[in-house]
Amino acid sequence: MRINDEEEAMLAGEMGEPRRWAISHQLEVGRFFDAEDFVPVTQAHIMGDTESLGESGVTFLEELATAGVQDRRVRIPTITDPRGLDLSTYRRLKQTETMVRLEARASAALEAFGVLMTNTCINYQTVFPATLGEHLAMGDTGVVIYSNSVMGARSNFEGGPSALAAGLTGRTPRYGYHLDRYRRASRHIVVQEQPKDLSDWGALGGMVGKLANSYWEVPVVDGLLAVPTSDQLKHFGAALASFGSVALFHMPGTTPECRKIADVVEGSIPEAVTITRNDYDTFYAAYAARGEKVDVVVFAAPQLSLFELQQLADLIGDKKIHPETSLLVATSPEIKQAADRMGLTGRIEQSGAILLSGVCFYQSYAREMAEANGWKRLMSNSAKLINIIGGYGYLPTLGTTERCVASAIKGTIV
Amino acid sequence: MPVVLHGHPGPGRKVKAVALVASDNFSARYDLDRQKGVFSRPGHALFGQSYVGKVLVLNTAKGGVASAWMIREMVERGISPAALLFNRVNPILAQGAAFANLALLDRFDGDVTKLITTGDELMVEPEFGRVTIL
C-alpha cells in the first residue's frame, strides 16, 4: 500500500501517538482489502455506545486521549452514533449507575478528541447531509447505506476504532465502496407489490438483504411506482444493511447514480427476482404473534424523524398506553428539542410513552433492560430492530406503525 | 497427512485450536451472548454452542458495526474465539480483528465451511494466509 510523506510521518509517531495508532490500524485494514492507497475523507461518524465499547473500549479511548491536545484532536468533523443511555430517562428504564459512569467516561474521552457528540444514526436527516461523490468514514450501517445510495457518497462500514482513526488521520484506506468498480449492481430485484407503511419498507429491505446476503453484493431495485420519501428509504436501507450486510443499493430514477438500470450494470442485466405480496406475508408471518401479550413496543432503529414523531403523536391521540405495556420512542437530541418546542413530546408522553433522546433501543443494554423490566415480547415497525433483537433474548413481532400503536394501547398484539 | 488451505493473509497471531463450523453468517451483536460465551440467536446454526477458544468457521459477516469494538472486549475478557475463518468478511470484522489482534482469514480456494469440519484441529497462520488441518 502506497503512503505519502505525511502518512509516513504519522506512522513514525511524528504527529503524536493517537495518529500513529490510527494510521497503523488503517494500514492493516487497507492491506487486508488490497487497498492501493488512502483517500481523504470529509466526515467521520463513530459508533461508541458503551454496550459495544465495554470497559475495554472505554479504557482504550481514555488512554489514547491522554496525549497532548495538538496530538489528539480530530482533523475532520467527527460525530457520534447513539449513546448507551439517556440521562433523563435511564432510571425509568431500570438502567444502572454503573452504566451511567461508563457512559460518562466514554463521552469525556470522545470529547477530548474533539468529537462532536451528535448521538444520532439519522445525521443525514438532521446534521450534515453528504454530497454526490463525497468520500466519508461512516459508522452505523444505516448511515453508510443511506449516504452511499441516496446521496451517492462513498463510504465503507467503519467500525468505531476505524472511524476514530479516520477522524484522527483525515483519510481512510481506498477499497470497497470508494472505488467505482465495486459500485456496479450485481443483483436485480423487481418489486411487484408496493410497500405502504414504514414497516413494509423495512420488510422489503429485509427481503432484498436476505437475497443479497453479502457486503459485496449491490442490488438494483426496480418496479417502485412512486418516488420514496427519506423516511421510507431510511427504513428500507437500514433493514437491507441489517439483514444482508449490504452497503449500497440503486433505484432507477431515485438514487443519483442510477437514472436507468444500464447506468449501474456492466454487461448484461442480472436475472430479476420478483417480490410479490406473498413474500411480504411470509416475511411478516415469521414474527407473527397475534393475540399475545406485548411487553414493550419500540419505535427506533433508526431514530425517528420529526415527521415520524408527528405521525406517532397523531396516531396516539389522547389515548393511554396499557399499564402492563411500555412504549418507547427514540430520536436524536436535535429532533427531541424540536419535538419539545413543537409540543410533540407532550402529546406522545401524555399516553405514558417515553421519548428517548440520543439513544437507540438495541444500543442501550437491551438484554439488561429485558431482565430488569421483565420484557420478552417486543413489537416494532422497524424490521432492522426485529432482526437484531432476537439475539438479546426478545421475542420480536413486526407490525405497521398503526398496529404497533394499537397494540401498545390494548396490551396485546393486534 | 495434514491438509493445507490457503486464504488471504490477515491480522492476528498464529494459533492452534479446534474448529466450530457452520454454513451461516456472523455478527457479535446479533448472534452472541458475550457474557456466557455462547451463540444466543435462536435462528443461528450454532445456537446454544460455546464459541470460546474455538476457530469459528462461517460464511460471511452480517449486520452492524458494533463487532469492531466487541471483538477486542471479548479477547480481553478471555471469552473470544481463538480465530475467525470466513469465505468473505465485511470491513467490520476485519477492522475488529485488526483492533483486537485476533487471527482472521478469508477468501479461501473453496468454500471454507465445507473444507473444514467441526472438531478438526487447526493451525491458523494469518501472516501467511495459511490454515493447516492437523
A367 and A324 belong to one structural domain? yes
The residue whose grid cell reads 463521552 is A107
For residue A65, how far is the Cα from the chain centroid?
Answer: 26
Total domains in chain A come to 3
Q: Residue B125 maps to which CATH number?
A: 3.50.30.10
Interchain pair A160, B10: CB under 8 A: no
Provide the residue range defining the domain that includes B32: 3-133
Per-residue pLDDT tens digits for B54-76: 999 999 987 678 888 999 999 99
B79-93 confidence digits (pLDDT tens): 999 999 999 999 999
Amino acid symbol at A158 = E
Whether B66 sits inside 8 A of A159 (CB atoms) is: yes
Q: How far is B131 from chain A (nearest CA, A)?
A: 17
Residue B31 has what pLDDT? 86
Per-residue pLDDT, B63: 67
Q: How large is the average pLDDT for residues A158-186?
A: 98
Q: Which of A274, A211, A220, A229 is nearest to A249 (CA)?
A: A220
Residues of chain A with C-beta less than 8 angstroms from the C-beta of B40: 391-393
Beta bridge partners of A188: A220, A272
For residue A56, the chain B residues in CB contact (below 8 A) are: 69, 72-73, 76-77
Domain co-membership, A139 together with A78: yes
Which pLDDT does position A21 carry in this prediction? 98
Chain B residues with CB inside 8 Å of A387's CB? 30, 63
pLDDT at A151 over 90: yes
User: A261, A284, A307: which is the final residue of a domain?
Assistant: A284
A262 and A125: one domain?
no
Q: Is B77 on the interface with A (CB under 8 A)?
A: yes
What CA–CA distance (Å, rounded) separates A337 from A302? 18
CA distance A202 to chain B (A): 14
Asked if B72 is an interface residue toward chain A (Cβ–Cβ < 8 A), one would say yes
Question: Are residues A56 and A153 located together in one domain of the fold?
Answer: yes
Contacts of B17 (CB under 8 A, 6+ apart): B53, B54, B55, B82, B83, B121, B122, B124
Residues A28 and A172 grouped into a single domain:
yes
Chain B neighbors of A159, CB-CB under 8 A: 65-69, 91-92, 95-96, 99
As a whole number of angstroms, the distance between CA A375 and CA B102 comes to 35
Same domain assignment for residues A325 and A189:
no
CA distance B61 to A242: 11
Whether pLDDT at A3 is above 90: yes
A56: closest chain B residue by CA: B73
CB contact under 8 A, A245 and B62: yes
What letters, b where the CB count within 10 A reaches 16 and e where it falls short, cover A46-81? bbbbbbbbbebbbebbeebeebeeebbbbbbbbbbb
Smallest CA–CA separation between B98 and chain A, in Å?
7
Do B29 and A157 count as a contact with CB atoms less than 8 A apart? Answer: no
Name every residue whose Cβ is closer than 8 Å to that of residue B61 and which is 6 or more positions away in sequence: A215, A245, B25, B26, B27, B67, B86, B89, B90, B92, B93
Q: Which domain holds residue A153?
A: 5-180
Cis peptide bond upstream of A302, omega within 30: yes
In chain B, how many domains are there? 1
Q: What is the pLDDT of residue B29?
A: 79
Selected residues 98-117 of chain B with any CB under 8 Å from a CB in chain A = 98-99, 104
Q: What pLDDT does residue B30 have? A: 80
Q: Give the B window 1-30 contacts with A, CB below 8 Å.
A: 8-11, 25, 29-30
**Predicted confidence band at B27 (pLDDT cuts at 50, 70, 90)?**
confident
Residues in CB range of A251: below 8 A, 6 or more apart: A149, A220, A221, A222, A224, A228, A258
A10 and A126 part of one domain: yes
Which conformational region is residue A253 in: left (phi greater than 0), alpha (psi within -120 to 50 degrees), or beta? Answer: left
Residues in chain A closer than 8 A to B10 (CB atoms): 32
Mutation test of the interface with chain A: which of B59, B65, B84, choosing the one with the most A Cβ atoms within 10 A? B65
Same-domain status, A204 and A303 = no
CATH number for the domain harbouring residue A373: 3.30.499.10
Give per-residue pLDDT as tens, A206-255: 999 999 999 999 999 999 999 999 999 999 999 999 999 999 999 999 99
What's residue A201's pLDDT? 98
Taking an 8 Å cut-off on Cβ atoms, the answer to whether B41 and A390 are in contact is yes
| The CA-based dihedral angle spanning residues A183, A188, A194, A200, taken in that order and rounded to the nearest 10 degrees | -60
- Both A45 and A164 in one domain: the answer is yes
CA nearest to A61 within chain B: B69
Name the minimum distance, in Å, from the CA of B63 to any CA of chain A. 4
The chain A residue lying nearest B59, using CA atoms, is A214
Give the end of a domain, one of A231, A251, A284: A284
3-state secondary structure chain A: CCCCHHHHHHHCCCCCHHHHHHHHHHHHHHHHCCCCCEEECCCEEECCCHHHHHHHHHHHHHHHCCCCHHHHCCCCCEEECCECCCCCCCCCCCCCHHHHHHHHHHHHHHHHCCCECCCCCCHHHHCCCCCCCCECEECCHHHHHHHHHCCCCECCCCCHHHHHHHHHHCEEECCHHHCHHHCCCCEEEEECCCCCCHHHHHHHHHHHHHHHCCCCCCEEEECCCCCCCHHHHHHHHHHHHHHHCCCCCECCCCCCCCCCHHHHCCCCCCCEEEECHHHHHHHHHCCCCCCCECCEEEEEEEEECHHHHHHHHHHHCCCCCCCCCEEEEEECHHHHHHHHHCCHHHHHHCCCCEEEECECHHHCCHHHHHHHHCCCEEEECCHHHHHHHHHHCCEEEECCHHHHHHHHHHCECC
Task: Nearest chain A residue to B7 by CA: give it.
Answer: A32
Closest by Cα among B30, B69, B31 to A388: B30
Q: CA A14 to CA A19: how far, in whole Å? A: 9
Nearest to A362 by CA among A344, A383, A342: A383
- Is the Cβ of B41 closer than 8 Å to some Cβ of chain A? yes
From chain A, the residues in CB contact with B42 under 8 A are 390
Contact A159 B31 (CB under 8 A): no
Q: Looking at residues A364-384, what average pLDDT do you find? A: 97
Q: What is the pLDDT of residue B35?
A: 87
Residues A168 and A190 in one domain: no
Compute the average pLDDT of residues B28-53. Answer: 90
Q: Are residues A156 and A101 in the same domain?
A: yes
Cell, residue B125 = 497462520
Mention every residue, 6+ apart, whose C-beta is less than 8 A from residue B66: A47, A49, A51, A52, A159, A160, A363, B27, B28, B29
Mean pLDDT of chain A: 97
Kindly state the average pLDDT of the residues A348-354. 98
